[in-house]
Amino acid sequence: MPATRPDDKQVMQALAAARGAVRRITDFALPPRCPGCGAITGEVQSFCLSCWRELRFLGEPCCSRCGLPFEYDSGEGVECGGWLSNPPAYDRLRAAVAYGEIARSVALKLKYSGRPGVAETLAHFMQRHLADEDAGAILAPVPLHRWRIWKRGYNQSALIATALARRTGLSARLDLLTRIRATPPLKGLGRRERALAVRGAFRVAERAKPALKGRNVILVDDVYTSGATANACAKALKRGGAARVDIICWARVVGGSD
Ligand SMILES: [Zn+2]
Ligand SMILES: [Zn+2]
Tens of pLDDT, residue by residue over 179-200, are: 998 888 888 888 889 989 999 9
pLDDT band at 27 (very low <50, low <70, confident <90, very high): low
Q: What average pLDDT does the segment 203-226 reach?
A: 94
Q: Cα separation of 15 and 190, whole Å?
A: 38
Sequence-distant (≥ 6) Cβ neighbours of residue 7 within 8 angstroms: none
Does pLDDT of 164 surpass 80? yes
**Cα-to-centroid distance, 189 and ligand 1 (Å):** 32
pLDDT band at 4 (very low <50, low <70, confident <90, very high): low
E strands, the chain, in order = 92-98, 138-141, 171-172, 177-179, 202-204, 216-224, 244-252
**Cα-to-centroid distance, 159 and ligand 1 (Å):** 21
The structure's pTM equals: 0.86
Going by their DSSP bridges, the two strands 202-204 and 177-179 should be labelled as antiparallel
**Cα-to-centroid distance, 87 and ligand 2 (Å):** 9
Q: Could you read off the pLDDT of 41-87 as tens digits, one per residue?
A: 878 778 999 999 999 999 999 999 999 999 988 888 899 999 999 99
Ligand nearest to the CA of 67: 2
Does pLDDT of 113 surpass 90? no
**Residue 2, pLDDT score:** 46
Q: Cα separation of 124 and 204, whole Å?
A: 28
Ligand nearest to the CA of 37: 1
Do residues 109 and 115 touch, judged by C-beta distance below 8 A? yes
Burial class (CB in 10 A: 0-12, 13-18, 19+), 49: exposed
**Cα-to-centroid distance, 78 and ligand 2 (Å):** 8
**Cα-to-centroid distance, 67 and ligand 1 (Å):** 26
Ligand nearest to the CA of 88: 2
**Residue 257, pLDDT score:** 41
**Residue 58, pLDDT score:** 97
Ligand nearest to the CA of 61: 2
Q: Cα separation of 96 and 68, whole Å?
A: 12
**Residue 258, pLDDT score:** 41
Q: What average pLDDT does the segment 9-16 reach?
A: 69
**Residue 234, pLDDT score:** 97
**Cα-to-centroid distance, 191 and ligand 2 (Å):** 17
Q: Cα separation of 46 and 60, whole Å?
A: 22
- What residue type is 12 in one-letter code? M
Contacts 24+ apart (CB under 8 A), 170-174: 170/134, 170/136, 170/137, 170/138, 170/139, 170/218, 171/138, 171/139, 172/138, 172/139, 172/140, 172/141, 173/138, 173/139, 173/140, 173/208, 173/211, 174/140, 174/141
Ligand nearest to the CA of 252: 2
The SS3 assignment for 77 reads coil
Does pLDDT of 29 surpass 70? no
**Cα-to-centroid distance, 79 and ligand 1 (Å):** 34
**3-state percent helix, strand, coil for the chain, nearest multiple of 5:** 45, 15, 40
Q: What average pLDDT does the segment 109-130 reach?
A: 92
Query: Which residues are close to ligand 1, an ion, with C-beta < 5 A?
Result: 34, 36-37, 39, 48, 51
**Cα-to-centroid distance, 119 and ligand 1 (Å):** 16
**Cα-to-centroid distance, 40 and ligand 1 (Å):** 8
Query: How much is the mean pLDDT over the chain?
Result: 88
The secondary structure of 157-204 as a DSSP string is HHHHHHHHHHHH--EE-TTSEEE-S-----TT--HHHHHHHHTT-EEE
Going by their DSSP bridges, the two strands 244-252 and 216-224 should be labelled as parallel
Ligand nearest to the CA of 49: 1
